[in-house]
Each structure stands twice: as structure tokens, then as C-alpha cells.
Amino acid sequence: MPDFPSENRHPISKSEIRRQLPHLQPPLRLLGEDWLAASTTIDFVALDPEGDVTLLLVGQAGEDPALLTQALAHRSWIAARLGNWRQLAPDAGIATNAQVRAVLLCPSFAPETLAAAESLAGVIVPVRCRGIESNGEFHTVFASLGDSPPERPVNRSTARAPEAPPATKAPEIPPTDRALESPPRGKSRRFRTLPFRSGLTEEDLDLTPEEAQEFSETP
Amino acid sequence: MPRDLADVLHYFMPELSSPGKGDPTNAPTSHSTAVLPILALPISDQDVVRTAFAWNLGVEISRLGGRSSIVTPPADSGSSLWPETADSALGTEILFAEQNNLQSLHRKATDVAVARAADADDGGLVLVRVPPTWLLPPLQSNALLRWVLLLTSPDPLEMVETFGLMRLFHRLREDSEIGVTFHGVKEASAAETAFEHLDQAARKRAGVALSNYGALLDDLEVYRAIAAHRAVGLVRPQSPAALALRDVAKILLNHAKEAQYA
């Protein structure tokens, strides 16, 4: 377990964390910062390349037990809303079965916090984090203390991300998501069997190919 | 619950014990009416986006001083579609019909429209989520469909769907007034262009004139607020999207004052 020198320590810089997110392993894409959850804010909400959600919570020394509790609460709050978020932002790339993990960024962790995080099988990841001055420049240094992220199920896909790996089996797509899939431009879609967002089909709405074509090229 | 006209007649008849109420010359100058207008919004069971816009419009109507209530099928009770109904800070109420059918929805909406009219001096309306699949034959009742709001975006697929819905409503009730509000646009001009396209197609292919009920602008902060079940107008009151919501609410409220769709 690496430790940091006691000298030249500086408060953790959130701007530095934000800057480093795309360069972490796995790289994280920022969805939001200071995101108001149930009653307190989440420092960072980010997505990994698989479409899983990572919450990052920043704390100072001694705040790790409280941070753990907050992380569990935030994780639960976010998980309950992911289905809605996929509809609100279909292009964001949130996976259909996205998992939510929380990364705790603190200068140090109590043994109890680490034990609790370990018992949560990787959904809570403690990362030692500290601001250090070196040659007149400030840097933020990370050292992971927890487990690697949990195993991903094989049968999964991202809602919109083209870089998603091919699933071994076609995932079941809820009707609302299917309705968002645009057909090829200019192609006749008479008797579209997949419902629109309303749950109705072209047949239900008695649409002709000409009517469907009318809007295929929206000005 | 069986009910006939006699059960609700007192709502519509002048009270003899209340002098002057039945005299048209003493009609109140405020917009207080016997019944609030009812606005039907076709929104499917899983449509988070349109549902969120619906209750945000309800909140904005209340912020404008109007009375707003939302009536929805009982299957929505406990659903994440709606914010906590106990949250009185929203200024609008979410009420559930007794049964999952169109008649029950209409009955509940009418009851609420009558009950809330008494203290709606500055007008108001009852928004009703109508699951579109309930509109397929055999239709139980078209009573709810006098005034309809279609929420849509300029996405070609949604435009086709909205055109089809518009014609479906017109076929189910010829005197239905159908308004359209666009969302998913960055600028109002994009919504104007899309509305003109939709309106032209509606006139040409179905002989229906649509009403333009404005646009709800896209804004990341808005989606965040909606995703967290917080009213945009309360969380980000000065954001362009919140102001656009307010404009749409004004259009609806003014329209509700001008015409009665109960």
C-alpha cells in the first residue's frame, strides 16, 4: 500500500481531478459535477467506456466514514433513476444494465472504512488521493486501495454508444427505446411493428407510406 | 361508482340560496368558473420525458397563479414517472383515477375540475395523462378529448407519430382542439419550422388546423432537474428552458381562460 510523504501535502483539487478523469484507467467521461442528489451533492458523476456509472466523492482526512455512507446513499439514488436518464439522454451512452460504483477520494482511510468497502465487492472503491507540490507545481496523486470494478455481465449493450462490444445475445430493448430507433431515411415503413414512444404502431395510427415519407426529411 | 346527472347537477346549476349567482348581470369579473378546463395529454406508461414536461407545466401554471391539477391512471401510483405527490412545494397536485380505463379517468378529471374551480380565481386547468393505447377501438368515451396537447420533438419519427396521433384525435372527436408543443430544440425558430411543417401536413392530409403552443428548449440543467424529480422552474427559474416552460404555461392558462373545455 503506497503512502505519501507527509511534507508538501495540499488540499485535493477538484479541478485537477476533473482534468484527470479522461486519463484514468478506465477513462471516465464527465456527466456532471456537484450533482444534487437526494439532499447533498455528488462531486462527480461520470461514465466509463462500458456505459457504467462512476460516482466520485472527494473528502478530506477523517471524512472517509461519512463519505462511505454518502456514497451508498448516492449510489442507491442514482441506480433508481438510470432508466429515466436513458430516456432523457439517449445519446449519453448509459448502458441498459449499467452498474453504479462509487469512488471515494480521500487522503487516508480508517481500517473500518476499508473493511466496509471490501465487503461491498467493488461497488465502493477507496482511492487514496492527495495534492502534492513538486518543483513548484501542484499535482494530484491517486493510489487505489480497493478491489477492481465488478465483473460485467456478458449480455449487455450501451443504449447508443457505437463503440460498445457486440453482445453475445440480442439484449431485450424496452418498447420506449425501440421507438427511438430511427429507420433508414426515405425508406417506406408501412406497418411498422415496433411501437412509437406512445406505444402505438403505424397500423394503429393508420399511417400510409406517403405520410411516413412526409416527415422523413424534416426541414 | 355509478353516477348519473342528478349526482353532479348541483355543480352546474345556480345555487338558489346564493343571491345573484344565477343572474348573468352579476357574473364575476374574475376568471372563476364552475368547471376548470381539462387538457388531455397522450403519454404512454413509460414516457418519462413527456410526463416530466407535463408536471413541470403544472408547476409553472401554479407559479403563474393558476390552479393546476394532474389526473393520471391509478397504475401510476408509486411510479417513478411522477414526483412525490406529497411534495406541496410543487404547487400542483397529482391525483389518481379509481380504475385503469378512460371512463374512470374522465370521471376523476371532471370531479377535480369542478372541485378546484371554486378557488381558482385566476383560472387554471386539469391536466390528464391519457395512455394512447386506451384510444384504440373500441373507445369507451371521447369526452376527455375536447382539448388535447401533443408534446413532440422535430425528430422525424416523432413527427410522424404526432401526425398520426393528431388525426386519431380528430377522428375520435371532430371538435377536438389540438395544440402542439415542441421540445428537444435549441432555439425557438427550430420549433417554429417544425410546427409549420406539421401544421401544413395536418391541413393538407387531414383537414385539421393545429394550434401552436410554443416550445420547450433543451437545456442540460433542465434534464438534470427533471431526472431528479425537481421542478425546473423552482430549481433553475432563470434558465432559458425554465422561461420557455413558463411561456408555454402562459399560453395554456390564457387559452384555458378564453375557452371552456371541461
pLDDT beyond 80 at B151: yes
C-alpha torsion angle, residues A205, A206, A212, A213 (rounded to 10)? -160
- CB within 8 Å of A152: residues ≥ 6 apart: A50, A52, A99
Cell triple for A179? 421507438
What's the pLDDT at A145? 53
- The answer to whether the CB atoms of B165 and A205 lie below 8 A apart is yes
Is the ipTM of this structure higher than 0.85? no
User: Is the pLDDT assigned to residue B213 strictly greater than 50?
Assistant: yes
pLDDT cut 70: percent of chain B above it: 84
Q: What is the nearest CA distance from A181 to chain B, expressed in angstroms?
A: 9
By Cβ distance, the residue of A197, A204, A218 closest to B156 is: A218
State residue A169's pLDDT score: 31
As a whole number, mean pLDDT of residues A67-78 equals: 93
Q: How far apart are CA A128 and CA A64, in angstroms?
A: 10
**C-alpha triplet A86, A158, A55: angle, nearest 5°:** 65
Taking CB atoms and an 8 Å cutoff, what residues of chain B touch A177? Answer: none
Q: Which chain B residue has its CA at the smallest distance from A195's CA?
A: B161
Residue ranges with strand state E in chain A: 9-10, 29-36, 41-47, 53-58, 100-106, 124-134, 137-144
Q: How far is B14 from chain A (nearest CA, A)?
A: 41
Residue of A nearest to B200 (CA): A214
Separation between Cα atoms, residue B164 and residue B148, nearest integer Å: 14
Q: What was the pLDDT predicted at A157?
A: 39
Most confident of A124-138, B41-55, B213-227: B41-55
Is B66 or A167 the better-scoring residue by pLDDT? B66
Q: What is the pLDDT of residue B109?
A: 95
**Nearest-neighbour CA in chain A from B187: distance (Å):** 14
Shortest distance, CA B238 to any CA of chain A (angstroms): 18
Query: Mean of the per-residue pLDDT values for chain A?
Result: 72
Question: Is residue B173 over pLDDT 90?
Answer: yes
**Amino acid B16: pLDDT:** 31
Query: Does residue B7 register a pLDDT over 70?
Result: no
Residue with more model confidence, B61 or A39:
B61
Quickly state the pLDDT bin for A19 (edges 50, 70, 90): confident
Q: In what helix (H) or strand (E) does residue B96 lie, and over which residues does it extend? A: strand B93-96
B112 or A156: whose pLDDT is higher? B112
**Is 60 exceeded by the pLDDT of residue A9?**
no
Whether A89 shows a pLDDT value over 80: the answer reads: no
Q: Which residues of A touch B50 (CB under 8 A)?
A: 197
Residues 6+ apart with CB under 8 A from A87: A176, A177, B46, B47, B48, B49
pLDDT value at residue A154: 35
Reported as a pLDDT band with limits 50, 70 and 90, residue A167 is very low
A176 vs A125: which has the higher pLDDT: A125
pLDDT in tens, A178-202: 322 333 333 333 444 567 889 898 8
Q: Which is more confidently placed, A48 or A170?
A: A48
Which of residues A101 and A17 earns the better pLDDT score?
Answer: A101
**Which pLDDT score is estimated for B137?**
85
Three-class SS state of B72: strand
Which of B168, B205, B224 has its CB closest to that of A35? B224
Contact assignment for B224 to A32 by CB distance below 8 Å: yes
Region A5-31 average pLDDT: 76
Say what the pLDDT of residue A189 is.
38
pLDDT digits (tens, 9 = 90+) for A94-124: 998 899 999 999 888 898 998 898 898 778 9
Say if residue B138's pLDDT is above 70: yes
Name the residue type at position A10: H
- Highest averaged pLDDT of the listed ranges B19-28, B180-189, B200-209: B200-209
| Shortest Cα distance, chain B CAs vs residue A17, angstroms | 22
Model confidence at A163: pLDDT above 70: no
Yes or no, beta carbons of A216 and B156 under 8 Å apart: yes
Cα B36 from Cα B146, distance rounded (Å): 13
What's the average model confidence in pLDDT over B221-250? 83
**Chain A residue closest to B132 (CA)?**
A198
Average pLDDT, chain B: 83
Please tell me which residue, B216 or A133, carries the higher pLDDT value: B216
Average pLDDT over residues B171-193: 92
Q: HSE of B158 in the Cβ direction (CA atoms, 13 Å)?
A: 21
Burial B31-65 (b: 16+ CB within 10 A, else e): bbbebbbbbbbbbbbbbbbbbbbbbbbbbbbbbbe
Which has more pLDDT, B239 or B62?
B62
Asked if residue B24 has pLDDT above 80, the reply is no
pLDDT of residue A132: 67
pLDDT reported for residue B258: 82
> pLDDT grade, residue A146 (50/70/90)?
very low
pLDDT, tens only, B77-106: 888 788 875 555 678 899 999 999 999 999
Do A197 and B158 make contact, defined as CB atoms within 8 angstroms? yes
Average pLDDT rounded to a whole number, residues A42-63: 92
Chain A interface mutation, best of B44, B133, B150, B183, highest count of A Cβ atoms under 10 Å: B44
